[in-house]
Amino acid sequence: MITHVSKKEMFHSFAFQMIFQLLKWLTFTNKAYLAGKQLKPGDDPYREHAFNLQESDRLGSERAIRDTRHYRCASLNYDTDLPSTSIIITFHNEARSTLLRTIKSVLMRSPPSLIQEIILIDDFSSDPEDCQLLSQIPKVHCLRNGRREGLIRSRVRGANTATASILTFLDSHCEVNTDWLQPMIQRVKEDHTRVVSPIIDVISLDNFAYLAASADLRGGFDWSLHFKWEQIPIEQKMARSDPTQPIRTPVIAGGIFVMDKSWFNHLGQYDTHMDIWGGENFELSFRVWMCGGSLEILPCSRVGHVFRKRHPYDFPEGNALTYIKNTRRAAEVWMDEYKQYYYSARPSAQGKAFGSITDRLTLRRKLNCKPFRWYMENVYPELRVPEQEAVSSVLKQGGSCLETRGIDILGLAECRGIGASRPQSQVRDQALKV
């Protein structure tokens, strides 16, 4: 009898949920959401968002885009019982048309069973309705920050409320492409320590054309901790017989990735003392590699993103100071003796405030993470250490090095510093590139 009642109750609650979702859906219309936010004649379409708002508004939220994957991707199979994911999108004053298109593309191009929920974090945008109205769409939830937090703390807030076992982060001006999600969830399901990104296609900031990005790129950086796309090293490129295979990457761009939720929590989420924008992708990437995980780009997953030339929003502490604070924190916690190259490349960072890093150093110890030297030797040997430009390996004899500073020869001395313990073959490879 008891089971009978509870079954009936369950049915009622299920039916109620369905009707509730349907009503929510019926109350939301794209047109009403976008109305009133359109440009007025004579307005500069680039002013507010650093992309052409007029073009974005014209497109509608359900446009078709070209499937930019390698043709062999279409015949790959994925597990039928993949776990679902919580999509986390943080935004600050995003244009309604791009935000809505991001959400619609997820709902249109993902198997419904894989989308547990879409969590929007409104990072204190001027109009609370930008977010609130969207929660009328089934599966979409809206959290609003009571003050500007920046993307790092906002994502952590989203992750903390996520109910799925896998987290998927997206920027608020993306369009996901055909079967974008399955390859990423599959890789994370097979090994929860993998953190995976799609190839990020380009949505033109001028005319919103969807353009395929090269499939031969990975994430890299220079010593000033400036992110850049770079060619996969030639040996790896030659060894790639299957274009659908993952690409190992030293760092991720930062905005679009899938990660197991327990792994995200185990590794210490993000450094929540980083503000607004920037640097968190290095911190996460170093941490993932050095603490037992890996980063990869999956060529069979494609997501378009509007890349901009300037930040369309303000930084309360200023753009430069914020970037320095965030990257200093990443360098001080993770880069060991290599942080000297960061300071040489970015002298203005010296003496700038970056807060306490005690908690993050404790985390690093607790997780028993490898040294940055390990990262340099095993993950990113292509990143040249500036010292090696001055110390020529040709002039290296046994344990002695001919030391130079610029054009001055300082003398023959025991090899020390970073170049000293690098495998000879690696030093040679480096020297060849000089």
Q: Under the rule (CB under 6 A), what is the footprint of ligand UD2?
A: 90-92, 94, 123, 148, 150-151, 154, 171-172, 200, 253-256, 276-278, 280-281, 305, 308, 311, 313
Nearer to ligand UD2, 314 or 359 (CB): 314
Q: How far is the CB of 51 from ligand UD2 (least distance, A)?
A: 10
Which residue, 93 or 294, is less far from Mn ion as judged by CB? 93
Nearer to ligand UD2, 205 or 357 (CB): 205
* Of 230 and 429, CB closest to ligand UD2: 230
Query: What six digits make up the tokens of 361?
Result: 């150093």
Closest CB 10 distance from ligand UD2, rounded Å: 38
For ligand UD2, the closer of residues 88 and 369 by Cβ is 88
- Whole-angstrom distance, CA of residue 153 vs CA of residue 148: 10
Residue whose pair of structure tokens reads 């509730």 in the numeric block:
20
Q: Residue 255 Cβ, how far from ligand UD2 at the closest point, in Å?
A: 2
- State how far the Cα of 109 lies from the Cα of 99, in Å rounded to an integer: 16
Give the Cα separation of 169 and 318 in Å (integer): 25
| Shortest spacing between CB 430 and ligand UD2, in angstroms | 28
Smaller CB distance to Mn ion: residue 151 or 431? 151
* Rounded least distance, CB 130 to ligand UD2, Å: 11
- Least distance to ligand UD2 from the beta carbon of 408, Å? 39
By a kind-dependent CB cut-off of 5 to 8 A, residue 354 interacts, out of Mn ion, ligand UD2, none, with: none
Q: Binds 254, which of Mn ion, ligand UD2, none (CB < 5 to 8 A, cut-off by type)? A: ligand UD2
Please report, as residue ranges, which positions from 135 to 194 form the binding site for Mn ion (by CB under 5 A): 171
Q: Which does 102 bind (CB under 5 to 8 A by kind): ligand UD2, Mn ion, none?
A: none
Going by the DSSP 8-state scheme, the letter that residue 82 receives in this structure is P
DSSP states of 1-34 as a string?
Answer: -HHHHHHHHHHHHHHHHHHHHHHHHHH--HHHHH
| Partners of 196 in the β-ladder | 258, 296
- Of the pair 45, 417, the CB lying nearest ligand UD2 is at 45
Q: Please say which residue, 188 or 276, places its beta carbon nearer to ligand UD2.
A: 276
Choose among 51, 310, 275, 48: nearest CA to 145.
Answer: 275
Q: Rounded to whole angstroms, how far apart are CA atoms 402 and 393?
A: 9
Nearest-approach distance from CB 173 to Mn ion, in angstroms: 6
Listed residue (293, 294, 300, 195) closest to 245, CA to CA: 300
Q: DSSP secondary structure string, 84-101? A: PEEEEEEESS--HHHHHH
**To which H or E segment does residue 340 belong?**
helix 339-345
Residue 284 binds which entry of ligand UD2, Mn ion, none, with Cβ cut-offs from 5 to 8 Å by kind?
A: none
Between 321 and 402, name the residue whose CB sits nearer to ligand UD2.
321
What residue 376 binds from ligand UD2, Mn ion, none (CB within 5 to 8 A, per partner kind)? Answer: none
Least Å distance, CB 262 to ligand UD2, is 22
Cα 250 to Cα 192: distance, rounded to the nearest angstrom: 18
Q: Is 123 in the site for Mn ion (CB under 5 A)?
A: no
Alpha-helical (H) ranges within 86-213 are 96-109, 129-132, 151-161, 181-190
Tokens representing residue 236 in the block: 């790896």
68 touches, from ligand UD2, Mn ion, none (C-beta below 5 to 8 Å by class): none
**Which of ligand UD2, Mn ion, none is residue 286 near (CB under 5 to 8 Å by kind)?**
none
Q: Which residue has the tokens 């974005």?
A: 56
Query: Is 280 within 8 Å of 109 (Cβ atoms)?
Result: no
Closest CB to ligand UD2 among residues 309, 365: 309
Helix axes 280-290 and 319-334, enclosed angle (nearest 10): 10
- For tokens 């030093």, the residue is 427
Is the CB of residue 328 less than 8 Å from the CB of residue 349?
yes
The helix or strand, by DSSP H or E, that contains position 351, with its residue range, turns out to be none
In whole angstroms, the minimum distance from the beta carbon of 311 to Mn ion comes to: 10
Quote the CA–CA distance of 99 and 96 in Å, as a whole number: 5
Min dist CB 412 to ligand UD2, Å, is 45
Chain contacts with Mn ion (rule: CB under 5 A): 171
